[in-house]
């Protein structure tokens, strides 16, 4: 096994370790990138700010955290041995189990020696003369590499809201996206939770079960489908393991990379009774596959309304107090246009005596004081506050790094009005810098591990091609990027996704440009385009055999 005991070189008087590939992030994307790079005989190093692997599953340790893609699918497919030997204990794995899986993978493939933990990348600058990236960290270390892969995650930059007085609060503040490692005891405490998105919906029932009283501060109600999580059925697990590779292949032919029962009719093409039966069947089965009931639920507003109304009726049925039910009923966006949630007794939680729902649309928070939260004319005394306020999605982690491309161009400046990429994989002006599940790729609309595997394989193949043709650099062309972003915009506009104020659009982040970031055209179409681009000699990219500045000098001479 080749590890990165890399050559040391001097850069601006500092010693910079040198390798072929620097990978930022040791979640599922970074781990797989390291595995493939090493298999190709390349030297690689992963830099990770956490003290362990797992990314999302390292950070999001809040009670109730679990995946909402079934465990048999939310896992790597690249190793038959791995998928045969790992055993998931539940239909939807919990965070500790997914983290244990990530650690198991790291150990099995001997990844740890090449990962630098507790180290944050602060800057990555392209050195034009050498066509190399110089990556600097908060530990004062530097790495120099031909290729830099940003595996920094689409949901890894936790978002803390700016509320007057938040820093004066006397109790503990927890963010679901950065939950403490030690056990948090809430028993006998008055707890406030801010946010009712995917994380909020998972954590709220767990907090309610522990707290003396739970105040749920809600701005926007969200649609959620019961997960109906259960212990793994042995026969179900075996049926998957008997034909894992065929099933994985089929999953890759589905729009979200998830093998599911995908309705092929319009919701309006069937009689009302049949439609409701279908919704009932899926509601009883549980999980986010509910929105796959009909082919046009995210395209046709009237079709969508039928599914949304079905869920609204269920909320009214479950929640006993009609005024609370009304507040919990989403009315301002089509179902599925915001990330659909899967829950365990979420709506039932509001029937508990120790839970109070506070509607922030009519009673906005004016301030946090040392004792609690003031909202409208009421004051809520609290011992601790849980922020389930989500992430600066898709671009947040990248924008925290000072990324400098050709001729001093910064990514922050380039993406000021919204991210621009070709296929989500590269951005013009930043040669040899790859992004895994970047904006402009399907990423968060899929089983992300599938999207990660496809992106990482594409990057590995691209690097292999560069080595073969003696390419010093590869870079997305401006025109390919513009056409792709236009395509991303157009496909989104043909759907109902753009009708919700969601984090897909970045509107949860003050000042972030409202641009729909993921590609909604489906994973198979996207993957086909990526493959064709590669087969066509990396159409839409320029590949140079000399460094970009040498080429520029030659052109100018
Ligand atoms: C609570 C939650 C539940 C989810 N459930 C699902 C699900 O059911 N199905 C699904 O498909 N997806 C789900 N996701 C999305 C999930 O993020 C992906 O599935 C996947 O884990 C992403 O892996 P990644 O390696 O791309 O990124 P991450 O897991 O986010 O890893 C990125 C890593 O990069 C590190 N990093 C970032 N910036 C720097 C820096 N500057 N320097 C050093 N290190 C850095 C971070 O510390 C992190 O460890 C969920 C996300 C959350 C938050």
Q: Whose CA is nearest to atom 49 of ligand 1?
A: 55
Q: Whose CA is nearest to atom 19 of ligand 1?
A: 448
pLDDT for residue 546: 83
Q: Which atom of ligand 1 lies at the shortest distance from residue 56's CA?
A: 29
Question: Whole-angstrom Cα distance, residue 288 to residue 229?
Answer: 12
Cα(456) to ligand 1 centroid in Å equals 15
Cα(29) to ligand 1 centroid in Å equals 8
pLDDT tops 90 at residue 3: no
pLDDT for residue 5: 44
Q: Indicate the top mutation candidate among 24, 36, 47, 56 to test ligand 1's pocket, ranked by most ligand atoms within 8 A of CB.
A: 56
Q: Which atom of ligand 1 lies at the shortest distance from residue 58's CA?
A: 49
pLDDT for residue 552: 74
pLDDT for residue 550: 75
Q: Assess contact for 421 and 428: CB atoms under 8 A.
A: no
Position 143 confidence tier, pLDDT thresholds 50, 70, 90: very high
Position 56 confidence tier, pLDDT thresholds 50, 70, 90: very high
Place of tokens 């236009």: 486
Position 12 confidence tier, pLDDT thresholds 50, 70, 90: low
Mean pLDDT of the chain: 95
pLDDT in tens, 192-230: 999 999 999 999 999 999 999 999 999 999 999 999 999
pLDDT for residue 4: 46
Pairing of strands 372-375, 378-381: antiparallel
Non-local CB neighbours of 293 within 8 Å, separated by 6+ positions: 263, 267, 278, 279, 282, 307
Cα(406) to ligand 1 centroid in Å equals 28
pLDDT in tens, 457-474: 999 999 999 999 999 999
Q: Assess contact for 283 and 321: CB atoms under 8 A.
A: no
pLDDT tops 80 at residue 554: no
Per-residue DSSP letters for 289-350?
Answer: GGGGSSTTTTT-HHHHHHHHHHHHHHHHHH-SSHHHHHHHS--SS-TTTSPPEEESSHHHHT
Q: Assess contact for 298 and 335: CB atoms under 8 A.
A: no
Which of 427, 91, 106 minimizes the C-alpha distance to 287? 91
Q: What is the mean pLDDT of residues 140-159?
A: 97
Q: Whose CA is nearest to atom 34 of ligand 1?
A: 25
pTM across the whole model: 0.96
Q: What is the DSSP letter of 426?
A: B
Residues in the ligand 1 pocket, defined by CB under 6 Å: 24-30, 47-50, 55-56, 58, 60, 65, 67-69, 74, 120-121, 151-153, 155-156, 199, 397, 400-401, 436-437, 447-449, 452
């Amino acid at each position: 096994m080749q590890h990165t005991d890399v050559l040391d070189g001097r850069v601006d008087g500092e010693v910079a370790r040198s390798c072929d590939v620097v990978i930022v992030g040791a979640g599922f994307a970074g781990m797989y990138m390291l595995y493939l790079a090493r298999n190709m005989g390349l030297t690689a190093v992963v830099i990770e700010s956490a003290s362990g692997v797992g990314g999302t599953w390292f950070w999001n340790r809040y009670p109730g955290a679990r995946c909402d893609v079934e465990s048999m699918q939310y896992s790597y497919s690249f190793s038959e041995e791995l998928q045969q030997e790992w055993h998931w204990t539940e239909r939807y794995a919990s965070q500790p189990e997914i983290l244990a899986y990530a650690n198991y993978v790291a150990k099995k493939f001997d990844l740890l020696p090449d990962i630098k933990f507790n180290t944050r990348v602060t800057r990555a600058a392209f050195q034009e003369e050498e066509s190399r990236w110089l990556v600097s960290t908060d530990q004062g270390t530097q790495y120099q590499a031909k290729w830099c892969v940003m595996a920094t995650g689409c949901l890894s930059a936790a978002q803390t809201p700016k509320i007057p007085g938040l820093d004066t609060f006397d109790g503990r503040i927890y963010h679901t996206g950065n939950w403490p490692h030690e056990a948090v005891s809430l028993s006998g405490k008055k707890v406030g939770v801010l946010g009712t998105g995917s994380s909020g919906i998972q954590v709220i029932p767990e907090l309610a079960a522990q707290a003396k009283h739970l105040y749920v501060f809600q701005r926007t109600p969200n649609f959620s489908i019961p997960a109906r999580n259960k212990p793994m059925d042995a026969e179900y697990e075996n049926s998957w393991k008997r034909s894992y590779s065929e099933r994985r292949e089929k999953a890759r032919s589905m729009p979200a990379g998830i093998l599911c029962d995908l309705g092929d009719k319009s919701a309006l093409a069937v009689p009302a009774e049949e439609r409701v039966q279908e919704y009932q069947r899926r509601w009883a089965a549980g999980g986010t596959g509910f929105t796959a009931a009909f082919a046009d639920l995210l395209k046709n507003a009237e079709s969508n309304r039928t599914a949304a109304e079905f869920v609204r009726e269920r909320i009214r049925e479950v929640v006993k107090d009609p005024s609370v039910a009304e507040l919990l009923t989403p009315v301002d966006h089509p179902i599925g246009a915001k990330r659909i949630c899967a829950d365990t007794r979420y709506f039932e939680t509001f029937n508990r005596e120790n839970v109070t729902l506070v509607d922030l649309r009519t009673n906005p928070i004016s301030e946090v004081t040392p004792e609690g939260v003031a909202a409208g004319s009421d004051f809520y005394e609290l011992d601790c506050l849980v922020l389930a306020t989500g992430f600066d999605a898709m671009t947040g982690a990248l924008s925290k790094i000072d990324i400098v491309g050709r001729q001093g161009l910064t990514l922050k400046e380039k993406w000021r009005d919204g991210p621009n990429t070709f296929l989500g994989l590269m951005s013009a002006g930043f040669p040899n810098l790859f992004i895994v599940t970047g904006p402009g790729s399907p990423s968060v609309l899929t089983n992300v591990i599938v999207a990660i595997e496809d992106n990482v394989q594409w990057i590995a193949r691209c690097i292999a091609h560069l080595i073969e043709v003696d390419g010093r650099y590869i870079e997305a062309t401006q025109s390919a990027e513009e056409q792709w972003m236009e395509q991303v915009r157009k496909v989104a506009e043909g759907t109902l996704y753009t009708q919700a104020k969601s984090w897909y659009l970045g509107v949860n982040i003050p000042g972030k440009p409202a641009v729909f970031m993921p590609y909604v055209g489906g994973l198979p179409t996207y993957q086909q385009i990526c493959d064709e681009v590669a087969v066509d000699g990396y159409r839409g990219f320029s590949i140079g055999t000399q460094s970009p500045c040498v080429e520029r000098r030659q052109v100018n001479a």
